[in-house]
Structure formats: C-alpha cells, structure tokens
Amino acid sequence: MPERYRDWLQQASRDLDHARMDVREGFYEWAAFAAQQAAEKACKALHLFLGSSAWGHDVTDLLAHLPPEHQAPTDLIDRAKRLDKHYLPARYPNGFAAGTPMEHYTRPEPSRPSPTPRPSLGSVVVRHLDRERVLADLRDLAAGIGAKNPEVREIRLFGSLARGERNPYADADLLIVLDRCDLPYRDRPAIYKPVGAQVPTDLIVCAQAELDREVAAANPFLLQILRDGLVLYTRAAPIPAA
C-alpha cells in the first residue's frame, strides 16, 4: 500500500534516534543494528512511495532494485554495504570466532571515554528533557545563526524532538536553507552548527534551489520535514522603499 510509506519513514527515523541513544549509552552493537534497521525501513518507504515492491532486509539489495529512473548513486551503495555487515554479527555471538558482539563493538580509541565502574540498579538516573525549554533555546540559537549569516533563509527543526515524542536523549535535527551555496555538502554543517545547544545537533544544509529540486522530485524525506517540521527561524522580508 503506497500510502503507508509515511509509517515506514517515521519508524526509520525512530530507529535512527534509537541508534544515537545506544551510542551515547555505550550499547555499540545495538547502535550498529538499529542504524541498519533505519536504513532498511527508509529504503522500503522509498519503494512504497515509488510504487515498487520491496522485500528482505538487505539495504544494498533494496537500493539496487529501485526503479531505473531512481537508481541510487555508487557512494550510497557503498555505505549500504557497510551497514549490511552489521545485520547479524551485531546480535549473535556466532558472528565471531570467539567473544560476544558487545566485546567486538566498541567506540574508537580516540573518543572512548575513561572506564567507570558499572552502575548498579540503585544508581539509575531518570533523565527528563524539558522540550519547551529546549525549543526556546533552539529558537534563540537559530536567530543567532541567521543574524550572523545573512544568506540563511530558514531553519527548521525535524525528527522526534519536533514531533514531541517522549525521548530524553533526542537530538535536534535541523534543516538550514540558504540562498545559495557552492560548498560540498560535507563542508556545510561546520559553518552553521550552533554552539552551546542543550542537546546534540545534526544539520542538513542546502540551498533553496536544491530544496526546490528535491521537492519537485517528491523526495519523501524532505517532504515530511516540510510538512511536520517546526520553523525556528525565518529571515524577515526586506522593508520596501517608500
């Protein structure tokens, strides 16, 4: 049923939130599996949106069987191959010659936190995220980004925090729209990333023409952001001359 692509896309977004939470909590094997699941469900959402069939759990295969007019780029296929390697080994000990997945999946050494004693159940801390306070903080940060960078047209929050879902470890996913930008996509977030946010932030930075092109192509991911996202900042229209 093509109309159910939104359900698959929403669950993909939640799986990605789960992966981020697992990274922060040190469950790296589950973070790897949840990331693979997010990609799988996003691919199935795209298949449903395009009216094609999608079966199986292999992200690489799902991308390879997209309709000819919507073939995935090579670099995306390569990323899918890396994710698919985690579908089984991240969950089952027999994916390795010895040891458990949790022993094999660790944070890279440069960013690994110092070892701390394993907490007991009596030391569990319940974290509460004050959504309204975080939103107010994000609006202030967005206004600062817009004031500092006059090319910024709009900043929009999307994801679980924008939807108001109960997730104490939610990130702030931001779409930043510019008048134009000649930089590669990978170099853009560092320029506009807010400093001092109360929650971690992930950025998508695009030019207005790029956004218009994707909307015209019915990109389901961006259409959902535009439909469900919260506008944090919009550049004021210039005052017409008298």
Ordered DSSP codes for 78-137: HHHHHHHTTTTTTT-GGGSSSS-HHHH----GGGPPPP-PPPPGGG-------HHHHHHH
3-state helix, strand, coil in the chain (%, to 5): 50, 10, 35
Same domain, 228 and 138: yes
CB 230 within 8 A of CB 160: no
Tell whether the model's pLDDT for residue 54 goes beyond 70: yes
Tell whether the model's pLDDT for residue 176 goes beyond 50: yes
Lowest mean pLDDT across 119-128, 196-205, 211-220:
119-128
The tokens describing 164, both together, are 């108001």
Domain count, the chain: 2
Tell whether the model's pLDDT for residue 182 goes beyond 70: yes
Alpha-carbon distance of 232 to 242, in angstroms, equals 30
Same domain, 68 and 160: no
Q: Per DSSP, what are the bridge partners of residue 178?
A: 152, 207
132: left (phi over 0), alpha (psi -120 to 50) or beta: alpha
pLDDT at 154: 97
Same domain, 11 and 82: yes
Alpha-carbon distance of 45 to 213, in angstroms, equals 20
Tell whether the model's pLDDT for residue 138 goes beyond 90: yes
Same domain, 101 and 198: no
Determine, yes or no, domain membership for 153.
Answer: yes
Alpha-carbon distance of 63 to 42, in angstroms, equals 10
Tell whether the model's pLDDT for residue 39 goes beyond 70: yes
Determine, yes or no, domain membership for 239.
Answer: no
- Domain of residue 223 covers 131-234
**Boundary (domain end) residue, out of 83, 112, 141:** 112
**Is residue 153 helix, strand or coil?**
strand
The tokens describing 34, both together, are 């949840």
Taking only the tens place, the pLDDT of each residue in 61-100 is 899 888 887 888 888 888 889 898 888 888 888 777 778 8
Provide mean pLDDT across the span 182-193: 88
Alpha-carbon distance of 190 to 22, in angstroms, equals 24
CB 191 within 8 A of CB 152: no
Determine, yes or no, domain membership for 29.
Answer: yes
Question: What does the longest C-alpha to C-alpha distance in the chain come to?
Answer: 78
CB 40 within 8 A of CB 57: yes
